[in-house]
Structure 1
């Protein structure tokens, strides 16, 4: 038997590849299927089942394409009702893969169909659980994503999750390995550990959600402090439930190389968003007017989902040469399939054509310090928790994730400054501000990390963990 965790850092997502005696199963596969096909061929095994722990909200799974290419059966837990052929398992149903077994444990709460898959090895020993979004390391799945579909409150779902954990997960042996669907950085939880594998026994000791004295306390603990889910989540759920365009077609469309003239014509005659995936530093020096910068070297796909929101949005890509396929692939993982092409050879093509170029007024932390005065207006686009830990005195907290909500309240005549932690997020904000007509600001290179080394007055640092205990 072989178990391989295939972890994708930018999505903080874990897929699982399991092989036993010539047969294989894959749990929660990513959108692109070719890496799985190559693994199957290399191991000379047949994919028998594709197990889905639930209808994912934060990414589009590869289950539909993978099933078509391999004839493997898609398996969901009880109550799932997809628009494509799938096995809807019963609670306790067992599936055989080679010499091992997978037992379905229906664990509703995160969503109604959420299920945990219990692996039973060749010696009939319960060895591991693939817990999906039911149990994370350090946390449990948020119970607010399925409340509309289930006609339940988040408190109702949290109560169901408590019952699932107490009745299905907690009675299992402490030496069982926990393989979750997500790790730290995912918006599917709020307190995840950086590790991606652990024992159930250790989680019983350290996971705050598993150590609540009763259901009432559990419900309060897991619903407290939940931030609004990213707007694209519901659209990803729909794609996972209803099906989607073949990834190969999406990739072919995105890899269509466009000249500067073709690129400009499509941009002018469509409602396409120009998405520039270069680094913040390169973008600041010059970009196509109205472009939005979301750098590929970061949490690219989740930020596209948070800021663009509508997965049906047509997109024109500007990338560093050679990064076109990666950009298209990562966009497709979160459901952005309407990619009309990319600028051939990147921004240099536009620059060499003599067409109009825009820039961002990016300044150093030292210059920011020299321009600082008591009533200066500063927008800090970091997360609220980062802001609360420490910030420039008199700065305003304006998290990037909510820019579409606060941008219209920004005075277009009063000068202001923006920064994040290091410059990645503030350049996104700068590009959106300029696309909406704001020119009265400066973006601080290096963000708070650089600002903290200057003599600009700052609040006293408060450790987030200590703050939670107050």
Structure 2
């Protein structure tokens, strides 16, 4: 069977391209749709269907643009109510892609409309199943997203539905069936996903905690909800965009891909109350940046951190980006619904300084300097990593303020004296430093390379079981 997984690591997303006998289908496409069109053109194929496993929360799908550009029909599972033309498949309904068959299997639980797509080859043999967020490799989808949009739903009700969907619809299928999920490790749509992006159903029955044969529904619900942190704030906003529609990426790009002189940039920043987003490397931001700008570097988990920390997808944004990376940045912002980019600083920080405008910096030291200073005196240390990372190992005496929660835990940020800030490798601590500096905290000393550097010094490390209130 000709099926290709198209994996985008920065948001841990998998789309799928299925082609046979001059017809093609795309499953869960990203916002930028030209690569799918190019694949079909190369195969002399027509894209016939765009299958959506559910209304996605962690990214804005490309279904509308792809349908407009190709004439393909959008397909959702039962109970879906989009604000645009789409086929609402019945449970068990089949669709032909050349000589292949795609069978819709309604699997509510992650969301009410969640649907998996069973793939049958030209001989009607079962080959694989595209599971969306119903079944991951090593995990299953979180059941607490649809309740944000449907008031009488609870995560317990959805978890109960998911248990039934897995036991009654997925687990009875053949063990040699290939599982093709929508996400891999790093996605916030689950909590225990593997780095592997495909597996056989039979192996998942052996190793996936949620598929234990002797698991009761009560045990499933308890284990699924245990340790499930709050979803990022942008998730419900992305769901609504996927249901209601959105501007074409071409329109977004035409507006955002606009070079601005330093004077134009500064004037627009003052007039629009735009957020100044600096996406360069953290080492560059630390040395010099525009005062008040927020750092979220392209080289890290850029889009998920934008969504988690900026909160409102309507927020106007002005970019400071490496030369030649402006279009990439705008595209990656659009993947998570941030379409209100007003333009970028032409010439970057070089042109800003040439115009005579001031810059700021972050005090930053090496891990070796940090260890030497800690040997001499008791330091105030803030660890920006997640609670689980902090529990496993941290600097003796450090306090944990996870970057995810910095906006809600500002009261815990030290104010009287300088404090030392670190994360795992140096990326998150600079993000946090930029947010705090923009809010008026200037008593920050960043520790370069974070724990990866600190471990190579003589700094005393310890373990600690975090209280549940920090989860």
TM-score, with length taken from structure 2: 0.96
The answer to whether the aligner puts 1:331 opposite 2:333 as a matched pair is: yes
Q: Which residue of 2 aligns with 1:156?
A: 157
Shift, 1:370, TM fit: 2.2
2:241 alignment counterpart = 239
Asked whether 1:440 is paired with 2:443, we answer: yes
State how far apart, in whole Å, the 2-side matches of 1:293 and 1:342 are.
14
Shift of 1:375: 3.8
In the TM superposition, structure 1's runs of 4+ consecutive aligned residues that sit over 3 Å from their partners are none
Deviation at 1:407, TM superposition (A): 1.7
Match of 1:167 in 2: 168
Superposition pairs of residues 42-441 of structure 1, within 5 angstroms: 42-150=42-150, 151-211=152-212, 213-372=215-374, 375-441=378-444
Contact 2:49–2:75 (Cα < 8 Å) also in 1: yes
CA distance in 2, matches of 1:374, 1:221: 44
Measure how far apart 1:454 and its partner are: 1.4
CA contact (8 A) 1:320 1:347 kept: no
SS in 1 for 2:127: strand
How many Å apart are 1:449 and its aligned residue? Answer: 0.9
1:456 deviates by 1.8
Give distance in 2, aligned partners of 1:305 and 1:149. 18
Give the C-alpha shift of residue 255 in structure 1.
1.1
Aligned length: 463
Q: Measure, in 1, the Cα distance between the counterparts of 2:439 and 2:416.
A: 13
CA RMSD of aligned residues (A): 1.3
> In the TM superposition, what whole-angstrom CA distance separates every residue of 1:277-309 from its partner, at most 9, and x where no partner exists?
000000011011110000000100000000001
> Offset of 1:374 from its aligned partner?
5.9
State the distance in 2 between where 1:323 and 1:337 align.
17
Is 1:420–1:447's contact at 8 Å kept on the other side of the alignment?
A: yes
Q: Could you say what secondary structure the match of 1:16 adopts?
A: strand
CA distance in 2, matches of 1:243, 1:220: 35
The 1-side partners of 2:221 and 2:377 are apart by 44
**Which deviations, in whole Å up to 9, do the C-alpha atoms of 1:49-93 show, x marking residues without a partner?**
000000000000000111111110000000000001111110010
Contact 1:430 1:443 in 2 (8 A): yes
Unpaired runs of at least 5, structure 2: 467-471
Equivalent residue number for residue 469 of structure 2: none
CA distance in 2, matches of 1:374, 1:112: 56
The separation in 2 between residues aligned to 1:56 and 1:429, in whole angstroms, is: 28
Q: Quick one: distance in 2 between partners of 1:327 and 1:196?
A: 25
**Offset of 1:37 from its aligned partner?**
1.4
TM-score (norm 1): 0.97
Query: How far did 1:461 drift?
Result: 9.3
